[in-house]
Amino acid sequence: MATRESEASVKPHASAGTGSAVNASAVKASAVKARPEKHDSILDKVLQLLSSVKFGVTMLMVLLTMCIIGMLIMQVEVEGFQEYYLRLSPAQRLVYGGLGLFDIYHAWYFTFLLAVTGLNIILASIDRFPTAWQYYSKPKSSASPNFIRAQMFSQENESPKRPKVLAEEVRAAWKRHGFRARIGEDGDRITVFAQKNLWNRFGAYVVHVALITIFIGGFLTNRYGVGGMMEIRPGKASNTFNTFKMTLEGQRTAPAMLPFSIECTDLQQQLIRPEGNLEATNTIDWLSFVKIKDGDRAEDAVVRLNRPYDYRGYRFFQSQFTAVGNAREITIRLEPVSGGEAREVVIPRNGSVDVEGIGRIAFTGFYPDFKFEDGPTTATGEYNNPAAQLEITTPDGQKRGMFAFNPQLADQLYSQASGLAAQKGIDNPLLIQGNKLLLKSFEKVALGHTLSIQYDPGRIPVYIGFTLLVLALCGVFFFSHQRMWAVIEPHENGSKVFYGGNTNRNRPAFEGRFNLLVRAVNGGK
């Protein structure tokens, strides 16, 4: 259909069908292809193939078949693949593996077919675009009675009014119904032409652009996307993370680099019941406070469970937590054994405070289930027997490692230690300047959080593509390009009018409108 809609070859309006209710169903055969057939070179033939809709349908079917194969044969990154793989016969493994069917969406031929389909959509659209453009550039603003009779809907009337008067009346009546008409004169004959939603002819191209955008996004994700995990703990910084790739042999881990570094400054786990444990069912949110160091820039960021953080195309998500109990901050009670007022200090994780008469107390480690076994350690990750490790720098500059125990453990240990110290005739080593150190309370937090990191250059194109696709499909199918003609010829003392109507879809709805517009001229409502 490369020719212009002409008097000789009236464009058939295929989609709406040719129901029996058509007034004039003189739908003529399609316009002749205006393409040279004889001296086609190979290039021409390839181009013709690539711009044919038949070829497009075939490609879509092939792609669909591949997707079906991808569903029937379990894909390598699906959970449970290893067991599935072991159950297959050696022949199946050989053939499927050889053809890349276990990872079909990443196979070269899948990408290739997508590319060819994309090219096909582009070429087919380019091929048809001039025809669609003509609806805009050369609107059919003068017509003949024959042309009108060949339209989807047509009707003939006689009127005692002069053609010019009638034409103005038609224009006014149609305007009241939202059809802006223009009047064209061709000798004695006057054509009143009006149309609505011309843009609808171009909806298909927007749909295709959206599809190509999605394809491109998918390609970018596939090709350049990176995803992985990074464990963070307060005080640590890193610019590497682990990526995981599933292969037939199992999971392969490889390190990947960030173009900047991430330093964890603080972790927080908001619990529903503070007295409960760290499990997910007792958690409202996990917060990771990080500092992103990028050259000489630094940016503070917070990653929360349902609020990832974006930086230079990288997205950081809260993914897991290391379920070993730790403390975000501790409250230490200093109790003089000789009586006197006790003091309390709050120290954040990896932080320190100065305490008068004692020196600087730093909070350096935490044991949720304290146990001494060739050194301090934790028996489990649960908060069964918490103890905090401290480092005290006395005013004279001496450093001393100490523990602040929970009150139960403290009672037990202090009495043991003071007994031993008394035997040996030394000071109780668990006391600092005659003070007991008690772990009064603490805010629970996990030892570390694991962030998942995604770099996905295809994300934005895919979002745009799908939004455009949905909008364009709504635009295409909920609207239609509707055209109305009234061809007026002088007839005896008055005129003869030929009304014609045409729409590119939703013919039943247009039928009503056509009748309405005709009636509007004849004085009806």
Partner 1 sequence: MSHAIKQNEPLVPEMELSMPAKIAGLWPVIIPILMTVALIVARIELGPRGFLYEGALTLLALICYMSAAVIIVTNLFVKEQVLSRLGLITVSLGYCFNLSGWMMRWVEAGDAEGWKAGINGAWRYFPLDNLYPLTLGFCAGAAVTTLLIIRKPKYEFLGAMSMPIVTVVLTLAIFLGNEIRTLPPILDSYWRPIHVSIATVAYGVCLVSFGIAFAYLLKDGVRSEAIAIGAGLFGLLIYGTVGRFGVPFHGEYGIGLLYNKTQLPVRAVLPGMGPLMVVTLLAIAASIVLFAIDWVRTDEKARRVGWRIFRLSALLQAVVLALLFSWIAFPQKMASATNLSNFVAQIPEREKPAFGEYLNKQMNADWPADRHQELAQKWLAQEDPAQFSLSMKSNPVEFGGLIGLFVVLFLVSLFAWRRE
Query: Which residue, judged by CB position, is nearest to ligand HEM in the bound state?
Result: 56
Which of these, 457, 460, 454, lies nearest to 244 by C-alpha position?
454
Residue (56 or 100) nearer to ligand HEM, CB:
56
If you ran DSSP here, which 8-state letter would residue 4 be given?
-
Residue 476 interacts with ligand HEM (CB under 6 A): yes or no: yes
366: amino acid identity, one letter: F
Residue (275 or 396) nearer to partner 1, CB:
275
Stretch of 38-46, 201-209, 275-283, 438-446 contacting partner 1, by CB under 8 A: 275-283
Question: Over the range 83-113, which residues count as b (16 or more CB within 10 Å of their CB) and which as e?
Answer: eebeebeeeeeeebeeeebbbbeebeebbeb
Q: How far apart are CA 384 and CA 427, in angstroms?
A: 29
**Which tokens is 38 given?**
């004889």
Backbone angles phi, psi at 325, to 5 degrees: -65, 140
Q: CA dihedral in degrees (325, 326, 330, 336; nearest 10)?
A: 70
Q: Which of 72, 91, 272, 426 contacts partner 1 by CB under 8 A?
A: 272
> For partner 1, what does the binding mask look like between residues 288 and 307, x meaning CB under 8 A?
----------------xxxx
**Collapsing DSSP states into helix, strand and coil, what is residue 232?**
strand
End-to-end CA distance of the chain: 39
Tell the smallest beta-carbon distance from residue 133 to ligand HEM (Å).
9
User: Which partner from the list ligand HEM, partner 1, none does 128 bind, CB cut-off 5 to 8 Å by kind?
Assistant: ligand HEM
Enumerate the H helices of 225-263 as residue ranges.
none
Backbone angles phi, psi at 303, to 5 degrees: -110, 125
Number of residues engaging ligand HEM in binding (CB under 6 A) = 18
> For partner 1, what does the binding mask look like between residues 307 and 336, x meaning CB under 8 A?
x-----------------------------
User: Which partner from the list ligand HEM, partner 1, none does 71 bind, CB cut-off 5 to 8 Å by kind?
Assistant: none
Show contacts with partner 1 in window 251-270 (CB under 8 A).
270
Residue (172 or 474) nearer to ligand HEM, CB:
474
Residue (305 or 421) nearer to partner 1, CB:
305
Backbone angles phi, psi at 442, to 5 degrees: -160, 160
Residue 164 interacts with partner 1 (CB under 8 A): yes or no: no
Stretch of 124-132, 163-171, 301-309, 396-404 contacting ligand HEM, by CB under 6 A: 124-132
Tell the smallest beta-carbon distance from residue 86 to partner 1 (Å).
13
Residue (252 or 307) nearer to partner 1, CB:
307
Residue 462 interacts with ligand HEM (CB under 6 A): yes or no: no
Beta strands in 312-386 (DSSP E): 314-336, 343-348, 352-355, 359-367, 370-372, 376-378
Q: Which of 158, 186, 285, 299 contacts partner 1 by CB under 8 A?
A: 285
Residue 364 interacts with partner 1 (CB under 8 A): yes or no: no
**Which tokens is 111 given?**
């990408």
Q: Residue 498 pairs with which residues in a beta bridge?
A: 156, 487
Q: Which helix (H) or strand (E) holds 412?
A: helix 407-424
**Which tokens is 321 given?**
């937590």
Residue 211 interacts with ligand HEM (CB under 6 A): yes or no: yes
Stretch of 121-129, 228-236, 333-341, 409-417 contacting ligand HEM, by CB under 6 A: 121-129
Residue (89 or 306) nearer to partner 1, CB:
306
Which of these, 496, 485, 509, 495, lies nearest to 151 by C-alpha position?
485
**Binding residues vs partner 1 (CB under 8 A):** 19, 270, 272, 280-286, 304-307, 508
Which residues of this chain interact with ligand HEM, rule CB under 6 A?
15, 53, 56, 59-60, 117, 120-121, 124, 128, 132, 204, 207-208, 211, 473, 476, 505
